[in-house]
């Protein structure tokens, strides 16, 4: 009877796991009138049969069943799920359309990773997004589709996530559901999750955080096989039910470009459909972050500067535009009504004289220049009348950049974890 070494569906419950080289679990091909067979030598699976395998994968079981079942896809040695489609068949129906739970960022039926370094604000951002989805409000200027939200708060104290929900406007009738505390990995848990998601019409599942969840089942987070086993059930939930699953995760201290800073094995970045990375940036205010997107969807903006102001996240625009705005703000904020030379202004703005010169010489900013620009009479710069420095118009849409005032950033609210 031909047999094949396979990964056991219950491998996460084995006391010892030898990874891809483990041959303790086998599937027997049908022979002599009998169907498929299953045997796992690990003690935890000693009494499991092919019936348990069928039930695990949701394949209908026809009694009586003991150790063997007919193949679910055809006659032994003549099985195949190879079914290519011709161009005519592909073009026979309307093209598929991407549905968004959060426009351009969270596709329906997708597994999404939200990663950031510790205390960058990823949980704060995630809970604000979850409330926006539950209430059907735009978030960062992009539409959401109102839906039930299930938060698996496996890391934080009840007090912390409770206060965060209240902070962002939780209402008594919001379709928000929270599981608090450890979540046991395994088929029973995911069966219960599947049932709850369907019954309560959940459209977004948030796991906060992935590393706290998989600590119960993964001995080495840099092992691709272990990581894939831990994450695959969430991928199946997203694809099979047609929901968005958001995994909150940490980045490495050393960081990395284009997703390489995500902590753990590379399989994690590979298995998700979309990754949202939240980062600090040296040129931004301490209340601002850069939201970067990597994934399968060209519709997603590659980067966006966001800011938390008065418990609301604001879309500030592209990083290059924000950098330019904040350079202007810093230079104009260093001016006074008394004349100053470039070195004095640069010192107050904590910039170089080369950086501030284009701003000072730009006539749109209403800066008054005096002096002849020679060694004995250098150029000086000052404000004119109190209203002479023009203000920029307010943002009119999500694609435009919000103006940034030359204010003391220390008075703004910080982004906690």
Reported as a pLDDT band with limits 50, 70 and 90, residue 174 is: very high
pLDDT of 403 above 50: no
Tell me: do 231 and 295 sit in the same domain: yes
213 and 251 both lie in a single domain:
yes
Q: What CATH number did the domain enclosing 198 receive?
A: 3.40.50.300
Residues 252 and 128 in one domain: yes
Question: Which of the listed residues 292, 317, 342 is the one where a domain comes to its end?
Answer: 317
Predicted local confidence at residue 67, as pLDDT: 47
Examine the domain organization and report whether 4 and 46 are in the same domain.
yes
Q: 51-59 — which CB contacts under 8 Å span 24+ positions?
A: 53/9, 56/9, 56/10, 56/187, 57/9
CA distances from 90 to 84, 220, 337 (A): 10, 43, 70
3-state class (DSSP) for residue 294: strand
- Give the total number of structural domains in the chain: 3
- Calculate mean pLDDT across residues 94-99: 90
The predicted structure's pLDDT at residue 272? 92
The pTM is what?
0.66
Give mean pLDDT, residues 17-42.
71
pLDDT in tens, 129-164: 999 999 999 999 999 999 999 999 999 999 999 999
**In the prediction, which pLDDT does 260 show?**
63
Half-sphere exposure (Cβ direction) of 287: Cα atoms closer than 13 Å: 19
Percent of the chain with pLDDT over 70: 81
Closest CA relative to residue 402, chosen from 310, 282, 291, 309: 309
Mean pLDDT, all residues of the chain? 82
323 or 337, greater pLDDT: 337
In a domain, 412, yes or no: no
Among 317, 348, 368, the domain-final residue is: 317
Q: Write down the residue that tokens 């309560």 correspond to.
A: 200
Alpha-carbon span 354 to 183, nearest angstrom: 56
Whether residue 277 is found in the same domain as residue 341: no
Portion of the chain with pLDDT greater than 90, in percent: 41
Q: Write the burial class of residue 178 (CB in 10 Å: 0-12 exposed, 13-18 middle, 19+ buried).
A: middle
**405 pLDDT higher than 70:** no
Contact predicate 306/288, CB 8 Å: yes
Task: Identify whether 260 is part of a domain.
Answer: yes
Do 147 and 263 sit in the same domain of this protein? yes
CB of 381 within 8 A of CB of 389? no
Domain that residue 336 falls in:
321-403
Question: Does the pLDDT at position 118 exceed 90?
Answer: no
Strands 380-382, 368-370: pairing kind: antiparallel
| pLDDT (tens digit per residue) in 282-309 | 778 888 899 999 988 989 999 999 999 9
Say if 413 falls within a structural domain: no
Residue 399 pLDDT > 50, yes or no?
no
Beta strand 288-295 pairing with 244-250: unpaired
Q: Write down the H helix ranges in 3-119.
A: 50-56, 87-90
Instruction: State yes or no: pLDDT of 414 exceeds 80.
Output: no
Structure tokens at 240: 């099979």
Q: Is the pLDDT of residue 365 over 60?
A: yes
């Amino acid at each position: 009877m031909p047999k094949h070494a396979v990964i056991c569906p219950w491998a996460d419950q084995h006391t010892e796991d030898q990874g891809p080289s483990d041959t303790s679990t086998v599937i027997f091909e049908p022979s002599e009138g009998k169907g498929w067979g299953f045997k796992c030598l690990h003690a935890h699976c000693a009494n499991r049969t092919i019936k348990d395998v069928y039930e695990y994968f949701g394949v209908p079981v026809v009694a009586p069943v003991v150790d063997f079942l007919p193949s679910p896809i055809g006659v032994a040695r003549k099985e195949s799920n190879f079914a290519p489609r011709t161009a005519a068949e592909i073009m026979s129906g309307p093209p598929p359309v991407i549905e968004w739970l959060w426009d351009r960022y969270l596709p329906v039926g997708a597994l999404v990773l939200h990663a950031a370094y510790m205390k960058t604000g990823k949980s704060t951002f995630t809970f604000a997004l979850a409330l926006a989805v539950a209430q059907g409000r735009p978030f960062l200027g992009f539409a959401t589709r109102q839906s039930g939200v299930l938060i698996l708060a496996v890391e934080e104290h009840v007090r912390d996530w409770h206060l965060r929900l209240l902070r962002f406007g939780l209402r008594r009738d919001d379709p928000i559901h929270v599981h608090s505390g450890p979540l046991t990995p395994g088929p029973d848990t995911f069966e219960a999750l599947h049932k709850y998601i369907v019954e309560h019409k959940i459209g977004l599942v948030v796991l906060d955080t992935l590393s706290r969840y998989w600590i119960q089942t993964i001995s080495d987070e840099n092992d691709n096989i272990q990581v894939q086993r831990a994450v695959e059930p969430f991928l199946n939930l997203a694809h099979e039910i047609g929901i968005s699953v958001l995994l909150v995760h940490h980045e490495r201290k050393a960081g990395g470009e284009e997703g390489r800073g995500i902590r753990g094995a590379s399989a994690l970045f590979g298995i998700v459909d979309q990754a949202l990375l939240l980062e600090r940036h040296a040129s931004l205010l301490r209340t601002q972050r850069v939201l970067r997107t990597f994934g399968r969807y060209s519709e997603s903006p590659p980067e966006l500067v966001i800011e938390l102001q008065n418990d609301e996240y604001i879309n500030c625009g592209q990083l290059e535009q924000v950098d330019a705005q904040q350079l202007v703000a810093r230079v104009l904020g260093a001016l006074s009504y008394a004349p100053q030379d470039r070195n004095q202004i640069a010192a107050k703005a904590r910039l170089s004289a080369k950086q501030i010169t284009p701003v000072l010489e730009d006539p749109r900013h209403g800066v008054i220049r005096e002096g002849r620009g020679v060694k004995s009479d250098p150029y000086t710069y000052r404000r004119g009348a109190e209203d002479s420095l023009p203000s920029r118009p307010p943002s009119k849409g999500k694609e435009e950049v919000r103006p940034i005032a030359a204010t003391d950033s220390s008075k703004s609210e910080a982004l906690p974890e």
